Structure 1
Amino acid sequence: MSYVFDVDDETVWSPSLRVGELFVRMHTDICSVLGVATGLTAIANDMYEIDIDVFERTTLTVFEEYSSSGNGAFRAMLGATLGPSLNILNYCRRPVAPRSSEEKDFMSWAAGLGMPR
């Protein structure tokens, strides 16, 4: 069994149950701490609709926090959901442009995560 993340009736990610549940919980908590909306709406326990406009704004906020922080632990926690979020934006043809070689390296790492659709 797997989770399903859809944007406009198109599945953009279908991870295993554990990975999907962990993503939703971590993403939700990060959004709560940063004071932004998740962009996720539960359709069922293992199915989420993504409001891509909200999700994009949220991902850009998380990316800015990640890029501007000097705290390694904070960056690691943000990076755990930021990588998959950037990939979802890429699948939706909304790529984020890196502003530095460090951001480019992170995005390259994220692209290699292997996210089944």
Structure 2
Amino acid sequence: MSYYFETVGHTVWNPSLRMGRWYLAFAESAADLVHRPTGLTPSDGDTCAVDVPVFRQFVEALLECYASTRHPVQHGLMRGVLLTSLVMLERGGVKMSPESEREASVLAEVKVFASSM
């Protein structure tokens, strides 16, 4: 079974059901820590609506938090949800521009990471 993450009429990610649920759990936890809503609204079915403007604010907050430190454990914990979110945001029509070298380094990984999604 699959889990569909969709903007208006467009699928931005279609992982397995298990991966979709893992991502949602991580994203909700991250949203609590960065004090932003995710913009993700799961349905009773195997879909999740992505409100791109709200999701963008969430991803921007994640990226800012990631770039604000050199802590390797924090980077490791955030990396999966951040890269996945950046890919989904790009597929939803939003290209992020780096505001620092740290942001640029993680944004440079998006294309490679996207190939595994």
TM-score (norm: length of structure 2) = 0.89
Change (3 A) 1:20 1:66: same
Separation (CA, whole Å) in 2 of partners of 1:28 and 1:45: 18
CA distance in 1, matches of 2:112, 2:28: 23
Matches within 5 A, 1:31-70: 31-70=31-70
Contact between 1:3 and 1:47, CA under 8 Å: does it hold in 2?
Answer: yes
User: Which residue is equivalent to 1:97?
Assistant: 97
TM-score by length of 1: 0.89
Aligned length: 116
User: Which range is displaced more, 16-25 or 102-111?
Assistant: 102-111
- Report the residue type matching 1:67 in the other structure: A
In structure 1, the residue corresponding to 2:98 is in which secondary structure? coil
**Conservation of the 8 A alpha-carbon contact between 1:15 and 1:115:** no
Alpha-carbon deviation of 1:115?
5.1
Which stretches of structure 1, 4 residues or more, deviate above 6 A after TM superposition?
none
Could you tell me which runs of 5 or more consecutive residues in structure 1 were left unpaired when the two chains were aligned.
Answer: none
Q: CA RMSD in A?
A: 1.6
Question: Any unmatched runs of 5+ in structure 2?
Answer: none
Q: Within 5 Å, which residues of 2 pair with 1:65-80? A: 65-80=65-80
Q: What is the CA deviation profile of residues 26-57 of structure 1, one whole-angstrom value per residue up to 9, with x for unaligned ones?
A: 00111112221011111225210011110000
SS of 2:12's equivalent?
strand
Q: Residues 53 and 17 (structure 1 numbering): CA distance in 2 closer, same or farther, change over 3 Å?
A: same
Q: CA deviation at 1:108?
A: 2.5
Task: In structure 1, give the amino acid aligned to 2:56.
Answer: E
Q: Percent identity?
A: 26
